[in-house]
Amino acid sequence: MISQLTLGERQLALATSAVVVALGLAMAVLGRGDLMGGQGFIVLLFGIAMLFAVMSGYYAPEPSSERLAQYYDDPIRAGIIVSMIWAIVAMFVGDWVAWLLAYPDMTFDAPWASFGRLRPVHTTGIIFGFGGNALIATSFHVLQRTSRTRLPDQFSPWFILVGYNLFCLLAVSGYLMGITQSKEYAEPEWYADIWLVVVWVSYLALYLRTLARRKEPHIYVANWYFMAFILVVAMLHIVNNLAVPLSLGSAKSYSLFSGVQDAMTQWWYGHNAVAFFLTAGFLGMMYYYLPKRAGRPIFSYRMSIIGFWGITFFYMWAGSHHLHYTALPQWVQTLGMTFSLMLLIPSWIAAANALLTLNGAWHKVRDDATLRFMMVAAVFYGLATFEGSFLAIRPVNSLSHYTDWTVAHVHAGTLGWNSMITFGAIYYLVPQLWKRPQMYSPALVEVHFWLAVAGTFVYVFAMWNSGIIQGLMWRTYNESGTLAYSFIDSVVVMHPYYVARGVGGLLFLIGSIIGFYNIWMTIRTARSSLRASADQPFAAPSSGGAMQAGE
């Protein structure tokens, strides 16, 4: 991997690693006696590991200029593997906390094993670790293929991928130590947030630089979505995390916002993280891999346009539906609810555009589990967005809010949509990137598919049931006109559903482990040259224009 970097880039990588080491050292020294110190050591060790990694290939001969005629796929391969590792770790933790809810004594009296610390490990690990790495990897792939150009340099993609994972590592290790700023999906503290800003701005710069070098006259839909994802996540992340640290040596900070303004800012962030991380980014993935695998043209360019602008415009207003019936002024709740309703149509346009693209290729959906992953993802995308708009209606929300129905909704989206489209994309990518004729075992892809579908159904149905029962129990009155059930009554009733959820999650986790094994074995099997030559910038069919290799 280092051998593909030019000498200048290797020096840059060494310098960057040295900066990370210095930062880690500074954190460890300034933060001694504070939780910051422990985080400093993690940064320090990470930087040292990077130094060793770069040094190990530092004296390798420089890459020949022939590489410039190829796409740069090394960071994509690494991103896929890292993404799968995060998936398994975070799904394991997710299933662990699912069982913890059914059997709450399994914490060994250890602070790190409490639900409050493990739950963000699951959410951050899955959204940012699994989802984020998959998005970075696939966006690099889609960007190069649809722009018919190579990434402009070899250092930036590695900086983004490795730097991003340092952020994830700091976040997750911090939770276990007890560091959090108590904002859902934005738990990492100020130093990790600042680091992510640096990484994310580099990501945006790399994306723009590559697009500027494109050999295609038009920018493909997938790139619109990836751009929206990168741009808006930067904005959300910076605004919601504005905070003042106690001191440079303290892991604790205080938010710039307070009271209901803080709640609104947080859910403007939280909902648009769903919109631009879990929706826009993954729609970018879908718009490339689904038509590619199906071998069909996108059903309607015009629907792509209204879908995209509808989603990006309406989503921005919808965050306040997370705060129905709270101290938030009623007019803000009205706007959140109505924009959520209007959002349904653009969301369904995107889902319909994907499913209609499969017209003429349904026999492939039947035979090919990889394409079926993507089809099911589009179906769940449609289901989850319908449910989202439905739950945003205030009277519906008065039943569903704070119940497991929300959890069912989120997991219909994350298991059914995000994970399925990612697995579809990964099963498409792995044989291509490692130049194999196909996956090591297509049968295991089938097994993974059915485990994932079964796990999702068991999970979502269990939580739908428990959520609606919970909501009803909390609002049931007896003949005396007082509440019929105490909260603990509803907890007792949830138990069987929590066990079912644990089982559903376990099925999904086993599927992912099988997927990882299959990917690993595909990588290990003998290299064939079957697909080696077709996937190059100059080999792509040109619509009349320059045929020269990327510079």
Give the nearer residue to another protein in terms of CB position, either 72 or 159: 72
Nearest to residue 89, comparing CAs of 123, 52, 139? 123
In whole angstroms, how close is the CB of 358 to another protein at the nearest point?
11
Q: For another protein, which residue of 33, 65, 110, 478 counts as binding (CB under 8 A)?
A: 478
Known binder of ligand: residue 271? yes
145 binds another protein (CB under 8 A): yes
- Determine if residue 324 is labeled as part of a ligand binding site: no
- Which residues touch 416 (CB under 8 Å, ≥6 apart)? 376, 377, 379, 380, 381, 383, 384, 456, 460
What residues numbered 193-222 form the site for another protein, per CB under 8 A? 216-218, 220-221
Establish how many alpha carbons lie within 13 A of residue 90's alpha carbon, considering only the half-sphere containing its beta carbon: 27
Q: Which stretch binds another protein (CB under 8 A): 171-179, 341-349, 401-409, 435-443?
A: 341-349
Q: Is the CB of 148 or the CB of 409 nearer to another protein?
A: 148
Q: Which is nearer to another protein, 124 or 347 (CB)?
A: 347
**36 in Cβ contact with 253 (< 8 Å):** no
CA 233, CA 210: separation in Å to the nearest integer?
19
- Figure out which of the listed residues 110, 244, 481, 533 binds another protein, where binding follows CB under 8 A: 481
The whole-angstrom separation of Cα 181 and Cα 196 is: 15
Residues of this chain, 261-300, that bind another protein according to CB under 8 A: 288, 291-292, 296-300
8 A C-beta contact, residue 143 and residue 157: no
Q: How far apart are the C-alpha atoms of 266 and 240, rounded to whole Å?
A: 6
Asked if residue 322 belongs to a known ligand binding site, the reply is: yes
Q: Are 240 and 317 in contact (CB under 8 A)?
A: no
Structure tokens given for 144: 């190069």
Q: Is 393 helix (H, G, I), strand (E, B) or coil?
A: coil
Minimum Å gap between C-beta 213 and another protein is 15
Which residue is it, tokens 């290299």? 527
Distance (Å) of CA 193 to CA 171, 295, 522, 539: 9, 41, 36, 41
Q: State in angstroms the smallest separation of the CB of 393 from another protein.
A: 10
* Region of 103-111, 178-186, 334-342, 424-432 interacting with another protein (CB under 8 A): 334-342
Q: Please state the length of the chain.
A: 551
- Which residues pair with residue 254 across a beta bridge? 244
Q: Which of 339, 381, 417, 449 binds another protein (CB under 8 A)?
A: 339
Does 482 participate in binding another protein (rule CB under 8 A)? yes
Q: Is 401 annotated as a binding residue?
A: no
Least distance CB 535 / another protein (angstroms): 9
- Does position 64 interact with another protein (CB under 8 A)? The reply is no
Is 69 a binding residue for another protein by CB under 8 A? The answer is: no
In angstroms, give the least distance from the CB of 171 to another protein.
33
Biggest CA–CA distance in the chain, Å, is 84
Contact indicator for 91, 59 with CB cutoff of 8 Å: no
> Which positions from 299 through 328 interact with another protein, judged by CB under 8 A?
299-304, 306, 310, 325
**Run of H or E including 245:** strand 243-245
Report the SS3 class of residue 255. strand
Question: Which residues are annotated as part of the binding site for Cu cation?
Answer: 271, 321-322
Question: Which residues are annotated as part of the binding site?
Answer: 122, 271, 321-322, 409, 411
Residues in contact with another protein by CB under 8 A are 145-146, 148, 216-218, 220-221, 288, 291-292, 296-304, 306, 310, 325, 329-331, 333-335, 337-339, 341-342, 344-346, 348-349, 359-360, 478-489, 540-541, 543
Question: Which residues are annotated as part of the binding site for heme b?
Answer: 122, 409, 411
